Amino acid sequence: MNSPHPDPFSLADEAAAALAERTGQATHDAVVVLGSGWAATADGLGEVLADVPLDDLPGFPAPTVAGHRNSALSVAVGDTTTLVLGGRSHLYEGHPVPTVVHGVRTAIAAGCGVAILTNAAGGLNPAWPVGQPVVLRDQLNLTGASPMAGPPPPPDRPARFVDLTEAYSMRLRGLAHQVDSSLPEGIYAGLLGGAYETPAEVRMLGGLGADLVGMSTVLETIAARHLGAEVLGISLVTNAAAGMGNENLDHAEVLEAARAAGPRMLALLRGVLERL
Ligand code: 8IG
């Protein structure tokens, strides 16, 4: 790190410079953030140009969550030079909001105009089986936090009060449906997490309009929109939200559902990246 306490935007610039140096790619076009269980889709997206340990880059802690991988890949997918972040940081790990959104800010500083944010989520729609990918249509940020709270962005960045009317890009959602026309859409509720919901909380979330519930993504989406990137969100339903199915929740079940859905998710990501 060049300075002891850079603001989060300067830290993202530093990380983007380190990324360019370590990958040999002056810029990237799109970033894919791989959520729980999505790590395997990194293999097969395209030609791997570079593989850098995430925690070698300024501001990136090593991922601690099972199913994440400590790796930033530079991958050629058709004409799209793609940065694939093998893991992310979550609020429930105790990371501050700037750390949680550091990956997307770094990617955008590296040139990415498109952010594809993936996650594993609980499904509230009983018609969705485990292993169902769902395109995010909108979100409920129920974390109680925001990347736009705190000191104002520096003068060379957009002001806060970012417009979130189109949090998830119509254009990118259209591309996803071109690739896989049977994909449903849903509203993702992002919570602090650390524990799954009670059945009462799941009923409440359904009343609020949520179709999916998880512990990530929503802050990254806000940070990406603030900096002008288009966002595509994709959830993999890996469990029925508590009280919606007939089983208790455990993380091993989540990882197995993701593994089985891997080929479909890989084709979806590759197809979207090739069409950008
Ligand atoms: I995977 O049911 C996965 N992540 N909050 N609730 C929340 N996060 C999740 C869930 C779930 N499943």
Ligand 1 in contact with 241 (CB < 6 A)?
yes
**Count of C-beta atoms within a 10 Å radius of residue 178:** 11
pLDDT higher than 70, residue 3: no
Question: How many A from CA of 3 to the centre of ligand 1?
Answer: 37
Q: Average pLDDT of 102-122?
A: 97
Closest approach atom of ligand 1 to CA 238? 1
pLDDT of 221 reads 99
Ligand 1 in contact with 190 (CB < 6 A)?
no
Ligand 1 in contact with 238 (CB < 6 A)?
yes
Task: Compute the distance between CA of residue 19 and CA of residue 56 in angstroms, rounded to an integer.
Answer: 9
Q: Which of 91, 191, 197 to mutate to test the pocket of ligand 1 (most atoms within 8 A of CB)?
A: 197
Closest approach atom of ligand 1 to CA 120? 1
Give the pLDDT confidence of 87-102 residue by residue, as tens digits. Answer: 899 999 999 999 999 9
Query: Which segment, 9-23, 61-75, 254-268, is predicted with the most confidence on average?
Result: 9-23
pLDDT higher than 80, residue 61: yes
Ligand 1 in contact with 91 (CB < 6 A)?
no
For the question of whether the overall pTM of this predicted structure is more than 0.75, the answer is yes
pLDDT of 116 reads 98
Ligand 1 in contact with 37 (CB < 6 A)?
no
CATH numeric code, 8-275: 3.40.50.1580
* DSSP code string of the chain: --SSS--HHHHHHHHHHHHHHHHS-S--SEEEE--TT-GGGGTTSSEEEEEE-GGGSTT-PPP-STT--S-EEEEEETTEEEEEE-----GGGT--HHHHTHHHHHHHHTT--EEEEEEEEEE--TTPPTTEEEEEEEEEEESS--TTSSSPPPTTS--SS---TTSS-HHHHHHHHHH-TT--EEEEEEE--SSPPPHHHHHHHHHTT-SEEESSSHHHHHHHHHTT-EEEEEEEEEEEPTTTSSS---HHHHHHHHHHHHHHHHHHHHHHHHH-
> What is the share, in percent, of the chain residues with pLDDT greater than 90?
81
Q: Which residue has the higher pLDDT, 192 or 262?
A: 192
pLDDT higher than 70, residue 5: no
pLDDT higher than 50, residue 270: yes
pLDDT of 56 reads 96
The residues carrying an active-site annotation are: 197
Give the pLDDT confidence of 136-190 residue by residue, as tens digits. Answer: 999 999 999 999 999 999 999 999 999 999 999 999 999 999 999 999 999 999 9
pLDDT higher than 80, residue 40: yes
* Mean pLDDT of the chain, nearest integer: 93
Give the pLDDT confidence of 237-256 residue by residue, as tens digits. Answer: 988 787 777 666 667 776 77
Phi, psi of 6 (to 5 degrees): -70, 155
Ligand 1 in contact with 244 (CB < 6 A)?
no
pLDDT higher than 60, residue 4: no
Q: Whose CA is nearest to atom 2 of ligand 1?
A: 122
Q: Whose CA is nearest to atom 10 of ligand 1?
A: 122
Question: How many A from CA of 151 to the centre of ligand 1?
Answer: 31
Closest approach atom of ligand 1 to CA 251? 1
Q: Average pLDDT of 104-112?
A: 98
pLDDT of 1 reads 46
pLDDT higher than 80, residue 263: yes
pLDDT of 254 reads 67
Ligand 1 in contact with 23 (CB < 6 A)?
no
**Count of C-beta atoms within a 10 Å radius of residue 199:** 11
Q: Whose CA is nearest to atom 3 of ligand 1?
A: 121
Ligand 1 in contact with 115 (CB < 6 A)?
no
